[in-house]
Amino acid sequence: MDRTHHNKYSYDRNIQALYATFSTKVNNFGLQLGLRGEYTDTETKSLGYGETEATAIPYKDDYFSLFPSLFLSYSLPKNHEIQVNYTRRISRPRGWQLNPFMNMTDSLNISFGNPYLSPEYSNSFELNYIKTWEKHTLSVSTYYRNTDDVIQRIRYREGDVMKSTSANITQSSSAGAEIVAKNKLLKFLDFTTTLNFYYNELEGFSYLPAGADTPVTGERDDNFSWTGKIIANAMLPYAISLQATGSYNSKQIIAQGHREASYRLDLGARKFFFDRKINLSISVQDILNSRSWHSITSGNGFKQDSDSWRKGGVFRFTLSYNFGNMKASKQKQQRPSEEMNMMEEEF
């Protein structure tokens, strides 16, 4: 056994949350206030060769966060509506980002996680306009978001060895516009199209990884990007639903460089049984085998052009049973794009 490649990673996270909301409507004006409190307790252990749960030193982290929200709406004649929203959000590091085990499969390219990562916190401000017709809905939104403690992958050179890890290194801000159109073209077929155009900015940073001789630095960077997604839903006889999702992401900035554009196509089907109490879903992700990351980064003494990808599609079968009164309402049955989100998975 190669002891340098042996690792057992234990990751336990508990989240307790309490939230309260208040809503009211006066004539055409609507108000909703919300406040959510979350306590998060995390413990991780990375076991090398010969280590046990009893001998490994755990890393523990716990924190309490508050997330206020505000939603204002005003209804205009002929199914027009204007909304103003504020929300505070959290994005926690993933388990693999926290694992400090050094992957030395390639001795010249070593990667490892960072157990000291903190969550990202974002503030989002939105102005939305919504117009509804009998079979169509149009939503146009403008927004501004800022994020603290942004988690980014950083790379640095030590002699002839390239190392990479994750760190909370910078702040980001973005401003843009999003257009969402929902169109029911036939009795059994509808489309949801989303276009997002935004300007993104990453602040400069200086970060010294553990054991490194010199800090990793990055200059302020910005760019204009856009994303697009189309979801097609077909409601067939015998309670069968079909869904196809295509998405595209343009070139995006990252710490020390940028990531090239990417695209993907997913397919899925769902069948309901016994008055919608039991449903079976089957999905195929990335049927074009295009799910890849092409990144170009540079730093002190290096320039790296890297590709990583997941070969082949991912098949998923899900069987679920709904207890109690879980029938979808009439509104939900008319909006299968919300009900049948079978294939969404981030990179």
Burial of 238 (0-12, 13-18, 19+ CB in 10 A): exposed
Q: Which of 273, 251, 265, 275 is nearest to 328 (CA)?
A: 275
pLDDT greater than 50 at residue 218: yes
Structure confidence at residue 163 (pLDDT) = 93
Structure confidence at residue 51 (pLDDT) = 81
Query: Greater confidence, 336 or 173?
Result: 173
What residue ranges do the domains of the chain occupy? 220-347
Buried b (16+ CB within 10 A) or exposed e, 36-71: bebebebebbbbeeeeeeeeeeeeebeeeeebebeb
Q: How confident is the model at residue 343 (pLDDT cuts 50, 70, 90)?
A: very low
Q: Do the beta carbons of residue 297 and residue 154 sit within 8 Å?
A: no
| Pairwise CA distance, residues 130 & 229, whole Å | 19
DSSP letter at 26 equals E
| Pairwise CA distance, residues 309 & 292, whole Å | 4
Q: pLDDT by residue (tens digit) across 139-154?
A: 999 999 999 999 999 9
Q: Do the beta carbons of residue 338 and residue 332 sit within 8 Å?
A: yes
Q: Do the beta carbons of residue 87 and residue 69 sit within 8 Å?
A: yes
Structure confidence at residue 276 (pLDDT) = 78
Burial of 144 (0-12, 13-18, 19+ CB in 10 A): middle
Mean pLDDT of 186-210: 93
What secondary structure does DSSP assign to 246-295, as a single string?
EEEE--EEETTEEE--EEEEEEEEEEEETTTTEEEEEEEE-TTS--EEEE
Q: pLDDT by residue (tens digit) across 259-278?
A: 999 999 999 999 988 777 88
Q: How confident is the model at residue 334 (pLDDT cuts 50, 70, 90)?
A: very low
3-state secondary structure of 337: helix
| Pairwise CA distance, residues 154 & 321, whole Å | 44
| Pairwise CA distance, residues 192 & 344, whole Å | 14
